[in-house]
Amino acid sequence: MSKRKKIAVLGGGSWATALVKILSSNTNEMYWWMRNEEAVIFINEKHKNPNYLSDVNIDSSIVKASNDLKFVCEKADVIILAIPSAFIVSTFSPLEADLSSKIFFSAVKGIIPEKNELVGAYIQKKFNIPEKNIGVISGPCHAEEVAMERLSYLTIACNEIHKAKEMAISLACPYIKTTVSSDVYGTEYAAVLKNIISIAAGIAHGMRYGDNYLSVLISNGLKEIQLFLDAIYPLDRNITNSAYLGDLLVTTYSKFSRNRTFGTYIGKGYSVKAAQLDMNMVAEGYYAVKCIKEINEKFQVKMPITYSVYRILYEKMSPSLEFKLLSEELS
C-alpha cells in the first residue's frame, strides 16, 4: 500500500503523531491533517509536533502537514482517522468532497457520542463508502511507547482481508508487529468497551483497591466485552487475541492509559469536570459508557461494570458505594 497508494493521517494528538512516525518510515510521501494551524507551521519548519510526543522527529520531505482537510483527503487514497470520537462529526460535517472511492481506517478506539455509532459506520454513511473500504487499526499499542520504539503490536481489520494486509505492510517496522483480521465490528467495539473497563480499573486504583481485586475486575470486564460482542455481532472469535484481551490489559494497567488515569482521578474524589480539565486529554471511555448503555437497551446484556461506571460518571453516584455493590456481582 505504501508504494501504490498515498496515505493520510487525520488528527493532531499523540496517537496521530505515533502513526505518522510509523508510516513515514515505509513511504516516500504521505499527508497529515490537523486543525491547529500553528502546529502545522511548526511541524513543517521544526519537524516536530509542538504539542504531543515532541521528541519524535517528523521528516517534512515525506510528511506533508496541512490544516486544509479537503486538500489532504482528496490527495490521499487511504485515510486513517485518529481524531477523538467527540470531534468526528464537527470535523466532517462542513466537508464537501466526494470521498466515496477512498479507503478509511479508523484508529480512534471510540464511539461517536451524538449518534451512538461506531466511527467506521458514520464515515460509511457520511461519504457513501462501501463497507469493503472501511477498516480498523487497533491493539495494545500506546503512542508513548511507539515514540520510544518499544516493541508493540497492532491488529488491522477489514472485510477485504487483502486491504488489511496492505495496511499491515505499511505499519510494520522493527518495533511494530502486525496481524490482520476480518472482524471489523468486533475489533472496533472491543476497542470502545475496553476504555470503559479501564476507567473502572482507574477508579478502583484511585480508591486504593489492590491488585487482587483489579485482576477480578478486569477478568469480569473481559467477560462483559465477550457477552456484548456475541450479542451485537455474533462471530467465532478468540477473545484472548491481542486485539481484545491484549488491548484491555494494557489499557487497564499502563501508566500511559488516559482512561485509567481519568478513572483514578474519579476514584480519588475529583469531579468529572475537574478530572477532564486537569488531564487536558480526551478519555474516550467517558463518552463510550453512555453510548454503550443506550445501545444495550436493545440487547439487555448483563454489564455490571459498565453500568457502575455510567452511574458514577453521569448520575454522580458515590464511587465507594458503587464499587461496594459491584464487588458482590463479580466472580
For residue 323, what is the domain's CATH number? 1.10.1040.10
What are the φ/ψ torsions at residue 280 (nearest 5 degrees)?
55, 30
Are 96 and 120 part of one and the same domain? Answer: yes
User: In this structure, is residue 297 part of a structural domain?
Assistant: yes
Are 46 and 163 part of one and the same domain? Answer: yes
Are 159 and 216 part of one and the same domain? Answer: no
284-294: pLDDT as tens digits: 999 999 999 99
| pLDDT (0 to 100) of residue 246 | 96
Half-sphere exposure (CA, 13 Å, Cβ side) for 291? 22
Domain count along the chain:
2
pLDDT band at 281 (very low <50, low <70, confident <90, very high): confident
Instruction: Measure CA 247 to chain center.
Output: 10
- Residue 9 is inside which H or E element, if any? strand 7-10
Are 18 and 121 part of one and the same domain? Answer: yes
Are 198 and 305 part of one and the same domain? Answer: yes
Q: Does 132 participate in catalysis according to the annotation?
A: no
Q: Torsion angle of alpha carbons 210, 211, 216, 222, nearest 10°?
A: 120
57-104: pLDDT as tens digits: 999 999 999 999 999 999 999 999 999 999 999 999 999 999 999 999
User: In this structure, is residue 150 part of a structural domain?
Assistant: yes
User: In this structure, is residue 224 part of a structural domain?
Assistant: yes
187-197: pLDDT as tens digits: 999 999 999 99
- With CA atoms as reference, report the closest residue to 43 among 13, 64, 73, 22: 64
pLDDT at 3 over 60: no
Are 318 and 232 part of one and the same domain? Answer: yes
What are the φ/ψ torsions at residue 132 (nearest 5 degrees)?
-65, -15
User: Structure pTM?
Assistant: 0.95
Find the CATH number of the domain harbouring 29.
3.40.50.720
| pLDDT (0 to 100) of residue 4 | 66
Distance CA 107, CA 104 (A): 10
Are 35 and 109 part of one and the same domain? Answer: yes
- With CA atoms as reference, report the closest residue to 250 among 176, 144, 330: 144
Are 174 and 210 part of one and the same domain? Answer: no
Are 294 and 272 part of one and the same domain? Answer: yes
pLDDT band at 1 (very low <50, low <70, confident <90, very high): very low
Are 80 and 229 part of one and the same domain? Answer: no
Distance CA 284, CA 262 (A): 10
Instruction: Measure CA 165 to chain center.
Output: 20
Which domain range does residue 17 map to?
7-182
User: In this structure, is residue 85 part of a structural domain?
Assistant: yes
User: In this structure, is residue 2 part of a structural domain?
Assistant: no
Distance CA 135, CA 163 (A): 8
Q: Which of 194, 223, 298, 302 is catalytic?
A: 194
Are 70 and 158 part of one and the same domain? Answer: yes
Q: Give whole-number Cα distances, 169 to 2, 38, 148, 172, 190, in Å.
A: 8, 32, 21, 5, 23
Are 171 and 208 part of one and the same domain? Answer: no
Of 122, 156, 182, the residue that ends a domain is: 182
- The 3-state DSSP composition of the chain as helix, strand, coil percent (nearest 5) reads 55, 15, 35
Average pLDDT, the chain: 96
Instruction: Report whether 82 contacts 52 (CB < 8 A).
Output: no
Quick one: cell of 323? Answer: 464499587
Residues linked to residue 136 through DSSP beta bridges, in sequence order: 106, 157
Positive/negative CA dihedral, 247, 201, 229, 19: negative
User: In this structure, is residue 188 part of a structural domain?
Assistant: no
Of 182, 201, 222, the residue that ends a domain is: 182
Of 130, 162, 182, the residue that ends a domain is: 182
Average pLDDT over every residue of 183-207? 98
